Chain A
Amino acid sequence: MKAAVIVFPASNCDRDLKVALTLSMGREPDMVWHGDSELPDTDLIAIPGGFSYGDYLRAGAMAANSPIMREVVKKAESGTPVIAICNGFQIATETGMLPGALLRNAGQKFVCRDVDLLVTSQNERFVGCFEQGEVIRFPVAHHDGNFYADDDKLNELESEGQVAFRYVTPEGEQTAAANPNGSRNNIAGIYNKAGNVLGLMPHPERLISDELGGTDGKRFFDHLVSSIV
């Protein structure tokens, strides 16, 4: 299996993602610079977290218009799996690959901590290693993670099973206190309609060993890789 990690100026989770993918794949992903206009042959595209272009204008807005993203959007439309994490999620919404937008956190503060997440829908490729309804733990680290979609779009996401993860209590309850950023319906991650693009604010690549505090991210990447091979 081959994977490509897109690298923008001020991406800062690209190497974490490389480590996570390398551990799960047994080979290194290609690191692809944002200014490139062609993608290498790849089975998975990963858009990492960070502060691409310094979050100028809006988080992800400039990166969404970089040359490589035109290729990423084309590949996504033809069915290549894409995982977009944190700033990657913001970039994916800015390109229109994913619906909605990520606003400034409702509490105005940068939030950096582990969060409990409910695995909301069944998408075999991305979350087949988790039980539907299982509560898992990934860290968040963001200032603009407040998921917004208007009422119609939100209803569509819910009824089409496009909500991937929700912020919940450790017991799996969807409460306001468990929501770190004010996201509508406690949404932490969503799929596109076709189910091959996943965007999420939490960072699975940051919990891939017990030394780092947990292995739910390792489970996630091991499964993703095995489902694509």
Chain B
Amino acid sequence: MKARVYISLKNGVLDPQGKAISHSLQGLGFKNVLDVRQGKTIDLDLADMDRDAAEAEVERMCQQLLANTVIENYSIEMLD
């Protein structure tokens, strides 16, 4: 079973890397870019298990290590 975790900075948390990417894109002529927020994805390869139990376990991983909920949001996608 596979799971994908998306991690992004919360609204209102300054994202200097997103700003730098935005400036670069505008410099390349992509004038339609208004703003950029960047984040990361983490792909997890899990032992075969009940899907709900797996999702609950990934949720705990996010809380304990993968995301810092002071500054980050996360979402989990279960992939088969």
Taking Cβ atoms with an 8 Å cutoff, the residues of A that contact B are 57-58, 61, 65, 93-94, 99-101, 103-108, 146, 148-150, 182
Residues of B within 8 A of A57 (CB): 65-66
Which residue of chain B has the shortest Cβ distance to A93 in the bound complex? B70
Interface positions of B from 15 to 59, Cβ below 8 Å from A: 16-17, 20
Taking Cβ atoms with an 8 Å cutoff, the residues of B that contact A are 12-14, 16-17, 20, 64-66, 68, 70-71
Residues of A within 8 A of B16 (CB): 103-108, 146, 182
| Chain A binding surface SS class | loop
Q: Assuming A57-B65, A148-B70, what are 4 further A-B pairs, CB within 8 angstroms?
A: A103-B16, A108-B20, A149-B70, A150-B12
Residues of B within 8 A of A61 (CB): 65, 68
Cβ-defined contact, B65 with A101, below 8 A: no
Cβ-defined contact, A100 with B70, below 8 A: yes
Known: A93-B70, A101-B70. A65 touches B14 (CB 8 A): no
Chain B nearest Cβ from A103, distance in angstroms: 6
Q: List 29 A-B contacts (CB under 8 A).
A: A57-B66, A58-B68, A61-B65, A61-B68, A65-B64, A65-B65, A93-B70, A94-B68, A99-B70, A101-B68, A101-B70, A103-B13, A103-B14, A103-B16, A103-B71, A104-B17, A105-B16, A106-B16, A107-B16, A108-B16, A108-B17, A146-B14, A146-B16, A148-B13, A149-B70, A150-B12, A150-B70, A182-B14, A182-B16
